[in-house]
Chains A and B, each alone.
Chain A
Amino acid sequence: MDDWPLWEVFIRSQNGLAHKHAGSLHAPDAALAVENARDVYTRRNEGVSIWVVRSIDIYASDPGEKEELFEPAKSKVYRHPTFYKVPKEVKHL
């Protein structure tokens, strides 16, 4: 079974949100990966669409370097609307 590649499964739920990672499974090809994903991850109507991606094709950031990677955003509080003072008498801002 280890000859079978590992696939990451992404599912779009009923409510129109983006596909979300649901889990992973082994399958010999993409078509069977989708069929197996239906049985493993949507037994209760969890989805309206399934994506499968070979796990080996996913690139990821290094958890050990997350401090440096995400540091630039930390000092930029002015990117949030709550940073700005809105005068009480001004509406719809």
Chain B
Amino acid sequence: MIQYLRQSRNSCIITAGAFFPFFRSMYTQMVEVLGGQNGETAQERRFQARIDAAETIEAKDWMPEGYRKTLIRQISQHAHSEIVGQLPEANWITRAPTLQRKAILLAKVQDEAGHGLYLYGAAETLGVSRSQLVDDLLAGKAKYSSIFNYPTLTWADMGAIGWLVDGAAIMNQIPLCRCSYGPYARAMIRICKEENFHQRQGFEIMTILSRGTNAQREMAQDALNRWWWPSLMMFGPPDAESPHTEQSKRWKIKLLTNDELRQRFVDQTAPQADYLGLQIPDPALHGNADTGHYKFGQIDWAEFYNVIKGNGPCNRERLRVRKAAHDDGAWVRAAASEYARKREGLPALEQQI
């Protein structure tokens, strides 16, 4: 039977590309598994069986409300983080030390805008509208990553952000390329391919500064001191305080826990700091030859929750700037709409703004 791909104007059905083939198993038998466990309906059991068989869930497939809601929350927060994440770095575009560094930083910030759009597109496939998502962000109702509420005080912060913040983001995103929801997984694949340069350009900035004058090395060390702990917080609260982890893992919209990802990040990053000759600001940090992992000190979770609640150094500033950019662009959107209407020969509306 043939049907409309989209049922409403606001739900986009396919998004973020068939560009990258995504592993898909054969459509296995939908066996009626075990009866009545956890009060699951037959439909929910079939859904879980599909996920367990590594099938990809697509926009028009049946899905439990909880799966849909959790994904909307997760993907939209991710999208908002990309959009707000442009702001700390935009701060340095006009003050980049060379024309090449400026061009690189511009390209990185432009990528982040693009990544936000891929993710908004993926969220829209779940039936939420773009304007609702944008409104929630501007109204301060939506969450985004706590890391972007810290200020970028020196040029070395561009290095530390690329190296640590993008490094942590990639660590978090690579497993999500295998998540169960097709549009999200495809967006993640694109994003991971593009973000690799973000981390490398950051590490290159840190390398140059740490091999430079004393003042430059101190600047790099200072940036590492300020960004290290907030980067570890990016992975979210400890597993013991993440009540939704188990369900999200079952649905394969989270493949590794917060603590697992954080540990991998520390293991990967500590030797890189050694290479730079910089000191990670954690006296408890040490490698354990037996386990092959680094032990690290206590994270200040009070700070994390405080920033999440809106009391970080830059929360208000970020939203103010984002909202101003949106308002300043209103006339452009209105002009584009009006032009499109004229070209279609439709009567102009009295007032659009």
Report the minimum CB–CB distance from A41 to chain B (whole Å): 8
Nearest B residue to A13 via CB reads B19
Q: Do residues A60 and B3 form an inter-chain contact, with CB atoms below 8 A?
A: yes
The answer, yes or no, to whether A73 is at the interface (CB within 8 Å) is no
Question: Per-position contact with A for B49-80: 1 when CB-CB < 8 Å, else 0?
Answer: 00000000010111000000000000000000
Report the minimum CB–CB distance from B256 to chain A (whole Å): 26
The answer, yes or no, to whether B317 is at the interface (CB within 8 Å) is no
Q: Do residues B117 and A25 form an inter-chain contact, with CB atoms below 8 A?
A: yes
Q: Which of A6, A23, A40 has the most CB of B within 10 A?
A: A23
Q: Do residues A29 and B340 form an inter-chain contact, with CB atoms below 8 A?
A: yes
Interface positions of A from 15 to 71, Cβ below 8 Å from B = 20-29, 32, 39-41, 43-44, 46, 55-56, 58-67, 69
Q: Which of A24, A41, A55, A67 has the most CB of B within 10 A?
A: A24
Chain B residues with Cβ under 8 A from A89's Cβ?
none
Give the contacting residue for A24; candidates B1, B10, B121, B129; CB below 8 A: B121
Contact residues on A (Cβ < 8 Å of other chain), bracket: 35 or more
Question: How many residue-residue contacts, CB under 8 A, span A and B?
Answer: 110
Q: Which of B16, B17, B333, B343 has the most CB of A within 10 A?
A: B17
The answer, yes or no, to whether B348 is at the interface (CB within 8 Å) is no
Q: Do residues A61 and B19 form an inter-chain contact, with CB atoms below 8 A?
A: no
Q: Which secondary structure characterizes the binding site on chain A? A: mixed
The tally of residues in B whose CB lies under 8 Å from a CB in A reads 43
Report the minimum CB–CB distance from A10 to chain B (whole Å): 9
Report the bound CA distance from A63 to B13 in whole Å. Answer: 12
Chain B residues with Cβ under 8 A from A60's Cβ?
2-5, 13, 60
Report the bound CA distance from A25 to B333 in whole Å. Answer: 14
Nearest A residue to B130 via CB reads A1
Question: Per-position contact with A for B1-45: 1 when CB-CB < 8 Å, else 0?
Answer: 111111001101111111100000001000000000000000000
Report the minimum CB–CB distance from B203 to chain A (whole Å): 20
Report the bound CA distance from A75 to B99 in whole Å. Answer: 63
Chain A residues with Cβ under 8 A from B124's Cβ?
6, 24
Nearest A residue to B8 via CB reads A56
**Known contacts being A23-B16, A24-B14, is A1 close to B131, with CB within 8 Å?**
yes
Q: Do residues B12 and A2 form an inter-chain contact, with CB atoms below 8 A?
A: no
Q: Do residues A55 and B5 form an inter-chain contact, with CB atoms below 8 A?
A: yes
Give the contacting residue for B17; candidates A3, A21, A62, A69; CB below 8 A: A21
Report the bound CA distance from A20 to B129 in whole Å. Answer: 25
The answer, yes or no, to whether A4 is at the interface (CB within 8 Å) is yes
Q: Do residues A25 and B121 form an inter-chain contact, with CB atoms below 8 A?
A: yes
Q: Do residues A8 and B130 form an inter-chain contact, with CB atoms below 8 A?
A: no
**Known contacts being A28-B336, A63-B58, is A2 close to B4, with CB within 8 Å?**
no
Q: Do residues A65 and B19 form an inter-chain contact, with CB atoms below 8 A?
A: no
Q: Which of A8, A32, A55 has the most CB of B within 10 A?
A: A55
Report the minimum CB–CB distance from B109 to chain A (whole Å): 12
Chain A residues with Cβ under 8 A from B15's Cβ?
23-24
Interface positions of B from 108 to 140, Cβ below 8 Å from A = 110-111, 114, 117-118, 121, 124, 129-131, 134
Give chain B's interface residues, CB within 8 Å of chain A: 1-6, 9-10, 12-19, 27, 58, 60-62, 107, 110-111, 114, 117-118, 121, 124, 129-131, 134, 187, 190, 194, 333, 336-337, 339-340, 343-344
Enumerate 30 A-B pairs (CB-CB under 8 Å) in ascending A order: A1-B131, A1-B333, A2-B9, A2-B129, A3-B337, A5-B9, A6-B6, A6-B124, A20-B17, A21-B18, A22-B18, A23-B121, A23-B187, A23-B190, A24-B124, A26-B130, A28-B337, A29-B344, A32-B336, A43-B107, A43-B194, A44-B194, A46-B19, A55-B13, A58-B6, A58-B13, A60-B2, A60-B4, A61-B3, A63-B61
A-B contacts besides A28-B337, A60-B3, 7 pairs, CB < 8 Å? A1-B134, A2-B10, A6-B124, A25-B121, A40-B117, A43-B107, A65-B1
